[in-house]
Amino acid sequence: MRGFFSAGALLGLEDERQAVVAVIGCGGKTTLIASLAHEYRHKKVLVTPTTKIFPMCGGGVALLTKSADCLSHIPINGIQCLGELNQATGKLEALELELLEEIIPRYELVLLEADGSNGLPCKGWLPDEPVIPPFCTHTIGVVTLSALGKPADGDTVLRLPEFSRLTGLGPGEIITRQALIDMVCAENGMFRNGIGRQGIFVNLAEDHAAANAAQEWLSSIQESNPRRFDCLAYGSARANSWTLLPCGQKEIKL
C-alpha cells in the first residue's frame, strides 16, 4: 500500500478501547515500543516487560521500579514505565503475572517487551519464549535483514542450536532469506506463542535498496504463509514510519 503510516495506524490502535501489544523479535523492539508510547501519550499508556527492558525516562515518563508502587499507582494520560529494577543490570524486569493482569485494566494501551535477543539480529526460541501473556490483543514481530549473507555464529545468532533446528543451517553457514523466513514462520519460531492479531514489521528499511529487499522478503512470506499474518510492513522504528504490504488477508482498518 502506498504511503507511510505509523505503527499505531497500521494496528488500528486509535480505534481500540484497550489494546495489549506484545512486541517480540530481533532488531528494534524497544525503539518501536518507545515510538508507539509517544504516539499515544494522550492516552493512559503502560510500558513494561515480560522479560527485561531498559527503562524509559525523561520527557514526562512516570517511572516506577517497585511492585508495590506499580500496584498502587493511579495512571494519568501519558506514559508510565513499570517494572522491578535490577540494580546490577539497570534493566526493569517483569512484574508478577498476577500483578500485571490486575493493573492492566487501568490503562488504555499496554506495550509489552516480550522477547530478548541480546542485540543480535537472529534468534532461536526456547519453548517458554517469547513470553506473551494470554490477555494480549496483538503480537508484533520486529525483524531486520541485517544478518543476510553473514555466517550463523555467536555474532549474529542468540541460541544457535535452536536457530539451527529452525532453519537447517549449521554453525558458520551463511544466513539466507529462506533461513530468516523459517526463523519467523516455523512452527517453533518467532510466533510460536503468538496471540491476537499478528504482524511482522521489518525494521531498518530506511533507503530504497533496503525497502526493496524488505518488500521482496515479506512477499515471500505472504506467498508461503497465506492468511497467516494480519499485517506485513517495512520501514523505520526510529521514525515510526512504515509502508504496508498489501496483504489481501484480513481487512486492516486505516
Q: What is the mean pLDDT of the segment spanning 118-146?
A: 97
Q: Whole-angstrom Cα distance, residue 189 to residue 163?
A: 8
pLDDT by residue (tens digit) across 41-66?
999 999 999 999 999 988 899 999 99
Residues in the chain: 254
pLDDT by residue (tens digit) across 74-127?
999 999 999 999 999 999 999 999 999 999 999 999 999 999 999 999 999 999
Q: Which amino acid is at 169?
A: L
Residue 16 binned pLDDT confidence (cut-offs 50, 70, 90): confident
Query: Any idea which residue has 499507582 for its cell?
Result: 73
Question: Quick one: pLDDT at residue 252?
Answer: 41
Residue 249 binned pLDDT confidence (cut-offs 50, 70, 90): very low
Higher pLDDT, 128 or 251: 128
- All three cell numbers of 236, joined, read 523505520
Question: Quick one: pLDDT at residue 14?
Answer: 86
The angle formed by the CA atoms of residues 183, 188 and 189, to the nearest 5 degrees, is 25
Question: Quick one: pLDDT at residue 73?
Answer: 97
Q: What is the mean pLDDT of the segment spanning 224-248?
A: 91
| 3 has pLDDT over 80 | no
| 1 has pLDDT over 60 | no
**Single pTM value for the model:** 0.95
Determine contact, residues 114/45, Cβ cutoff 8 Å: no
Structural domains for the chain: 7-46+110-244 (3.40.50)
| 139 has pLDDT over 50 | yes
pLDDT by residue (tens digit) across 173-191?
999 999 999 999 999 999 9
Residue 169 binned pLDDT confidence (cut-offs 50, 70, 90): very high
pLDDT by residue (tens digit) across 197-224?
999 999 999 999 999 999 999 999 999 9
